[in-house]
Amino acid sequence: MDAHLNDIYDAVIRRNPGEPEFHQAVESLFGSLAVALGRHPEYADDALVERMCEPERQIIFRVPWADDSGRIHVNRGYRVQFSSVLGPYKGGLRFHPSVNLGIIKFLGFEQIYKNALTGLPIGGGKGGSDFDPKGRSDREVMRFCQSFMTELQRHIGEHTDVPAGDIGVGQREIGYLFGQYMRLKNAHESGVITGKGISWGGSLVRKEATGYGVAYFVSNVLESAGDSLDGKRVVVSGSGNVAIYAIEKVQQQGGIVVACSDSSGYIVTEKGIDVPLLKDIKERRRARIHTYADESGSATFVRDGSVWDVDCDVALPCATQNELDHTAAETLARNGCTIVAEGANMPVTPAGVRTLRQAGVKFGPGKAANAGGVATSALEMQQNASRDSWHFDYTDQRLESIMSDIFQRCRDTAETYGAPDDYVLGANIAGFTTVADAMCALGVV
């Protein structure tokens, strides 16, 4: 980081105390920017980088709701509208007890550059709540979502801000949120939220898109070296929406996923994951991962262990931030892993990234590798705007070609800056310059 960026980073830390994840996301972008600012001095003018680090708007609100016994709970709701230079704010909602302003700001900051990389007209935002949907009945989740949307509705709109899902927010929650929005607005504005069900304005492939996109990104990395996923041993962390569909697509492309996890531990199976069984356990029954070992007859459950101890060619962290540290990175490299791609947002710690790169492991950062989800949200917005609905294969082809364009942009940009295969540098600079050029054109706002 050069002196100018260092000063800005110090100010970010000072002005945003107690938000380590946000600091980490800013530091990881800044780590790549010195060379870009060297070639484009105009990006250092008009406090452009400082403005990028300050959300356009941050909303925090009270969310009261009644549980099934009539007891009232109070949660906190957030929406951080970070950047609207490329399009309406776009990014998911996360419902998880760990959610706080710093986590939403890190996610919103990442989202700006990720969305820029898709090449589609979407700005960056993120929201959520410290509400924990785990163990709550459908009715409790519904009442929470209705209360959350009663406040959020005044800040969103198809041309303003378009939320979607993230951890803890799937189609069930999107349905309750959209239902309440419709009721309050007395209009069916389907473009206000994405991740909807197919019969009520959703897009085919949206559910699968983040996971499929990660697999497509990895395929591109392998193809650029004359290789493919065929026969590769793959380890995936998590077993939520991103993990399930990354596993499905990796196996469709000939890879064998030998392990996946949840917060209780991981399962290992030399036969590859039985995806229909995993979907039934996680999507329908919302049960724990040991159920997979109990029922598949061919998997072992390891309680509280690290899934990164399982040797593999490719590792896909698809659970949550900072889940793969430098020790895990060392283990992966020692066991022969050659590619790590982030399905989750910032799952590899900065020391983990350094360790992987020093060991020569190719690393796909989340803002590139997991951009397929938000890209397909933008395709859902296109279908809503034209009152159309596209076939699965067509939408999947669009996703595949967007992921391949993202990979090319990362690789070409990295090459231009003299660091081929440094996809972190490529993704950061390609995303940053897209946003910076638009900011220069739009003036100081």
Residues acting as catalytic residues: 126
**In the complex with ligand GLU, which residue's Cβ is closer, 167 or 268?**
167
Q: Which stretch binds ligand GLU (CB under 6 A): 88-96, 211-219, 307-315, 317-325?
A: 88-96
Residue 340, phi then psi, degrees to nearest 5 = -125, 130
Q: How far apart, in whole angstroms, are the C-alpha atoms of residue 3 and residue 347?
A: 28
- Name the residue with tokens 């996109």: 213
Q: Could you tell me the CA-to-CA distances from 352 to 27, 331, 348, 405 in Å, in that order?
A: 14, 11, 6, 27
Asked if 84 is part of the footprint of ligand GLU (rule: CB under 6 A), the reply reads: no
**In the complex with ligand GLU, which residue's Cβ is closer, 269 or 370?**
370
CB 86 within 8 A of CB 123: yes
Pairing of strands 256-262, 265-268: antiparallel
How many whole angstroms from its chain centre is CA 356?
A: 21
- Position among 8, 19, 83, 90 found at the interface with ligand GLU (CB under 6 A): 90
CB 255 within 8 A of CB 234: yes
70 burial level (CB within 10 Å; 0-12, 13-18, 19+): exposed
H helices of 289-422, where? 290-296, 326-334, 350-358, 366-369, 372-385, 392-416
Q: For residue 290, what are its two tokens?
A: 């040991």
- Name the residue with tokens 């290789």: 227
- Position among 190, 345, 384, 428 found at the interface with ligand GLU (CB under 6 A): 345
Please name the amino acid found at residue 436: A
Q: For residue 410, what are its two tokens?
A: 């990362």
Asked if 373 is part of the footprint of ligand GLU (rule: CB under 6 A), the reply reads: yes
Smallest CA-to-CA distance from 367 within 394, 392, 346 is with 346
Smallest CA-to-CA distance from 403 within 79, 117, 28, 69 is with 117
From residue 29 to residue 58, the character string flagging contacts with ligand GLU as x (rule: CB under 6 A) and all else as - is ------------------------------
Asked if 202 is part of the footprint of ligand GLU (rule: CB under 6 A), the reply reads: no
**How many of the chain's residues bind ligand GLU (CB under 6 A)?**
10
**In the complex with ligand GLU, which residue's Cβ is closer, 241 or 269?**
241
Asked if 374 is part of the footprint of ligand GLU (rule: CB under 6 A), the reply reads: yes
Asked if 377 is part of the footprint of ligand GLU (rule: CB under 6 A), the reply reads: yes
Asked if 91 is part of the footprint of ligand GLU (rule: CB under 6 A), the reply reads: yes
Q: Which stretch binds ligand GLU (CB under 6 A): 197-205, 348-356, 373-381, 414-422?
A: 373-381
Please report how close the Cβ of residue 178 comes to ligand GLU at its closest, in angstroms.
Answer: 14
Please name the amino acid found at residue 66: A
Q: Closest-CB residue for ligand GLU?
A: 92
CB 227 within 8 A of CB 219: no
Exposure of 408 in the CB half-sphere (CA atoms within 13 A): 8
- Position among 164, 250, 302, 424 found at the interface with ligand GLU (CB under 6 A): 164
DSSP-assigned letter for residue 308? G
**In the complex with ligand GLU, which residue's Cβ is closer, 43 or 216?**
216
Q: Which stretch binds ligand GLU (CB under 6 A): 35-43, 72-80, 90-98, 248-256?
A: 90-98
From residue 229 to residue 268, the character string flagging contacts with ligand GLU as x (rule: CB under 6 A) and all else as - is ----------------------------------------
Asked if 193 is part of the footprint of ligand GLU (rule: CB under 6 A), the reply reads: no
Please name the amino acid found at residue 213: G
Asked if 108 is part of the footprint of ligand GLU (rule: CB under 6 A), the reply reads: no
Please report how close the Cβ of residue 270 comes to ligand GLU at its closest, in angstroms.
Answer: 32
Asked if 194 is part of the footprint of ligand GLU (rule: CB under 6 A), the reply reads: yes
Asked if 92 is part of the footprint of ligand GLU (rule: CB under 6 A), the reply reads: yes
**In the complex with ligand GLU, which residue's Cβ is closer, 194 or 261?**
194
Contact residues for ligand GLU, defined by CB under 6 A: 90-92, 164, 166, 194, 345, 373-374, 377
